[in-house]
Amino acid sequence: MMKSLVKIIAVAGIMVAASCKTDTAPNYQFFPNMYQSVGYETYSESDAFNNGVEAQTPVDGTIKRGWMPFEVENTEAGRLFAKDSLVSPLQPTEANLANGKELFGVYCAVCHGAKGKGDGNLVKREKFLGVPSYADRDITTGSIYHTVYYGLNSMGSHAGQLNENERWQVSMYVSKLKADLTK
Ligand code: HEC
């Protein structure tokens, strides 16, 4: 008797509570500003920062995770310095050269040709001219790295497409292509 009375009261309580629910008005919200956060636009104006906009440049002296700054300058002197002094931190293992070959096929062969003779498809179709054969250039893995990083004259920089390891892998592979061409 007592038990069923408790049940009836409990069910009635739930029904009363449920009857307050309406679908047209928001229900009670804990921490409403977690549900309705303010949507800031990336480049909108903002008083929160000194320069008056949301978008901020990185703090001085900090670098992106996984990004190592390249200290050698983008000048002819820098390229010559790289040529004589920079060496790959990676070993010329089969895995590194295989990856370098794959990257070369993706990023370089359209101009330089699969073997580095300067006869890629863009050259054959006369879309891009002045691409040399690696055989005719006085290059080392270090100078190739400099060229990949900064580009050289009409050749653009590839620092945005390839990370540090990949740049070295592709540079080592180009050295190998040059060695094969000049055998
Ligand atoms: C859009 C065409 C193009 C692409 C893509 C390209 N290059 Fe070049 N590359 C050139 C041209 C043109 C030159 C000649 C630049 C000069 O000496 O004025 C050159 C020159 C070079 C040289 C010779 C530099 C020297 O010191 O003489 C190297 C090494 C080289 N490229 C490597 C690469 C590598 C590695 C890639 C891919 C990551 C690549 N290039 C992608 C067009 C290209």
Residue-level pLDDT, tens digit, the chain, 183 residues = 677 888 888 887 777 666 666 777 767 778 888 888 877 788 888 888 888 888 888 888 898 887 778 999 999 999 999 999 999 999 999 999 999 999 999 999 999 999 999 999 999 999 999 999 999 999 999 999 999 999 999 999 999 999 999 999 999 999 999 999 998
pLDDT of residue 1: 62
Rounded to 5 degrees, φ, ψ at 160 are: -80, -25
CB crowding 57-82: b at 16 or more within 10 Å, else e: eeeeeeeeeeeeebebeeeeebbebb
CB–CB of 137/83 below 8 Å? no
Q: How far is the CA of 175 from the centre of ligand 1 (A)?
A: 13
pLDDT of residue 33: 82
Q: Calculate the CA dihedral of residues 34, 35, 38, 40 and round it to 10 degrees.
A: 90
Give the ligand 1 atom nearest the CA of 144: 29
Residue 147 is encoded by which pair of tokens?
A: 């060229």
Q: Is 108 in the pocket of ligand 1 (CB under 6 A)?
A: yes
Pocket of ligand 1, candidates 84, 112, 146: which has the most ligand atoms within 8 Å of its Cβ, to mutate? Answer: 112
Residue 178 is encoded by which pair of tokens?
A: 């040059």
pLDDT of residue 167: 97
Q: Is 152 in the pocket of ligand 1 (CB under 6 A)?
A: yes
Distance between CA atoms of residues 112 and 15, nearest Å:
77
Minimal-distance CA residue to ligand 1 atom 14: 131
pLDDT of residue 25: 74
Distance between CA atoms of residues 83 and 56, nearest Å:
37
pLDDT of residue 58: 85
Q: Is 169 in the pocket of ligand 1 (CB under 6 A)?
A: no
pLDDT of residue 102: 98
Q: Is 155 in the pocket of ligand 1 (CB under 6 A)?
A: yes
Half-sphere exposure of 20 (CA within 13 A, CB side): 8
Q: Is 70 in the pocket of ligand 1 (CB under 6 A)?
A: no
What sign does the CA torsion over 39, 43, 45, 47 have?
A: positive
CA 1, distance to chain mean position in Å, is: 72
Distance between CA atoms of residues 141 and 26, nearest Å:
65
Amino acid occupying residue 106: V
Give the ligand 1 atom nearest the CA of 152: 15
